[in-house]
Amino acid sequence: MKKSLLLTVLQLFILCPLYAQHLGNFNNEDFKLSRQNIAMSGNANIYNPTVQQQINKVLNPSNILTIDVKALQNVKAVTYTAVFNLSQIGESAAEANSLINQRIDGVRQKLKAQGILEKDIVIDVISFVPNYEIEVQKKLFSKTYTEVPSGFELQQNIHIQFKSTNQFEDILTACAENEIYNLVKVDYFIENIAQVYKNLQSELLKMIDEKKAYYKLLGFNLEDYDVYVADDKYCYFPKDFYRSYQAFNSVSFEAIRTKKGVTTAKKQTSYYYEPLSYQYYDLVINPAILEPVIQIGMNIKLQYNPKPKEQTKPITKTELVHKYYVVSPNGTIDVKELNTNK
């Protein structure tokens, strides 16, 4: 019995840390678990103030109906373009140009074996300028400082287009082997973005029809309302959603015990991709993403205001017309108007 109980306790200690691994090193300062909530009996209060405020939100009834729908679609890029910057110096313009071409040709040859053709690599010349040094000319009673050209610096950008993220590792390796280390950016491209917006629009219209039917079941006739509309669409790329944090622990008990100073080290900054949250969307197409994607969204908002009730126009005194009839002895009838407005 004791052995079985000990085994159970050990299993709990082993299993418990596995659940904490999902949090990762990044820890939002607002995401803190209060010990007071743990100590409470029964169901603990929700510790996230934003969620608690949303659940306890007070609804205010109104005679104005609002239909607000939002849709988001995650689209994987069809092609990518990586941009690297490289510079080369030489004692002459010809030497600088020759050296930089050797590095670029080395990248071309390396990537050709990986299926990236020469037409997928484009060179963009940024600058080609001479460098100057100060030459001192000594005279009998003075010194003259003169700038003289000492060499040339050539700077270029190399654009590499690829179709799969798996090829990016080969591109980095090829560039590093040729002393190209400065990755400027990676652009994402998709085809036929108009079709994506059309798809989102169709899905939003379906949801609007469903909400109209919902209001009809509640007893509202939308024909008795004036409708106002507003819509919006947007497109975001992965470069807009990278965040940074630092994960480190600088506590040194050894330094406290020995009463020695601590030499601080440069802390590494980590980056991670955090796309748009799905919290406020009614529909998300392709929600499960494994790699950074292009996020395209569309919102439509309809507001229904009750139509003003038609009021019967009162008859004024000037509009009242009194008539009387005169019957003659022979039976004819003559209609006369009586003016009573005086």
Are 109 and 235 within one domain?
A: no
Are 251 and 290 within one domain?
A: yes
Do residues 124 and 104 lie in contact, with contact meaning Cβ atoms separated by under 8 Å? no
**Is the residue at 111 inside a domain?**
yes
As for how many domains the chain has, the answer is: 2
**Is the residue at 161 inside a domain?**
yes
Are 67 and 107 within one domain?
A: no
Of 127, 157, 189, the position where a domain reaches its end is 189
Q: What distances in angstroms separate CA 6 from CA 2, 10, 18, 19, one per listed residue?
A: 6, 6, 20, 21
Please report the pLDDT score of residue 13 as a whole number: 43
Are 100 and 134 within one domain?
A: yes
Are 87 and 158 within one domain?
A: yes
CATH of residue 95:
3.30.70.2970
**CA 324 to CA 319: how far, in whole Å?**
17
Please give the backbone phi and psi of residue 187, each rounded to the nearest 5 degrees, phi first.
-95, 145
Please report the pLDDT score of residue 2 as a whole number: 45
**Is the residue at 179 inside a domain?**
yes
Tokens of 72: 């988001």
Are 94 and 242 within one domain?
A: no
Please report the pLDDT score of residue 23 as a whole number: 53
Answer yes or no: pTM beyond 0.95. no
Are 178 and 196 within one domain?
A: no
Are 284 and 184 within one domain?
A: no
**CA 283 to CA 300: how far, in whole Å?**
12
Please report the pLDDT score of residue 144 as a whole number: 75
- The H-or-E segment that residue 66 falls in is strand 65-75
Do residues 169 and 68 lie in contact, with contact meaning Cβ atoms separated by under 8 Å? no
Pairing verdict, β 333-338 and 322-327: antiparallel
**Is the residue at 24 inside a domain?**
no
Please report the pLDDT score of residue 47 as a whole number: 54
Are 184 and 105 within one domain?
A: yes
Tokens of 64: 């104005």
Are 200 and 71 within one domain?
A: yes
Please report the pLDDT score of residue 304 as a whole number: 95
DSSP, collapsed to helix, strand or coil, labels residue 96 as: helix
**Is the residue at 54 inside a domain?**
no
Of 189, 224, 250, the position where a domain reaches its end is 189
Per-residue pLDDT of the chain (342 residues; tens, 9 = 90+): 444 544 444 444 444 444 334 555 555 554 444 333 333 444 445 455 666 666 677 788 888 999 999 999 999 999 999 999 999 988 888 999 999 999 999 999 999 988 899 899 999 999 888 877 777 677 666 677 777 777 888 999 999 999 988 899 999 999 999 999 999 999 999 988 999 999 999 999 999 999 999 999 999 999 999 999 999 999 999 988 888 887 776 666 666 676 666 667 777 888 888 999 998 899 999 999 889 999 999 999 999 999 988 776 665 655 555 666 666 777 677 666 656 555
Range of the domain at 248: 61-75+192-306
- H-state helical runs in the chain: 2-20, 35-39, 49-55, 93-112, 167-177, 193-217, 253-258
Of 174, 189, 204, the position where a domain reaches its end is 189
DSSP, collapsed to helix, strand or coil, labels residue 243 as: strand
**CA 67 to CA 49: how far, in whole Å?**
27
Are 251 and 123 within one domain?
A: no
**Is the residue at 92 inside a domain?**
yes
Please report the pLDDT score of residue 35 as a whole number: 38
Please report the pLDDT score of residue 1 as a whole number: 47
**Is the residue at 20 inside a domain?**
no
Are 153 and 215 within one domain?
A: no
**Is the residue at 256 inside a domain?**
yes
Please report the pLDDT score of residue 318 as a whole number: 56
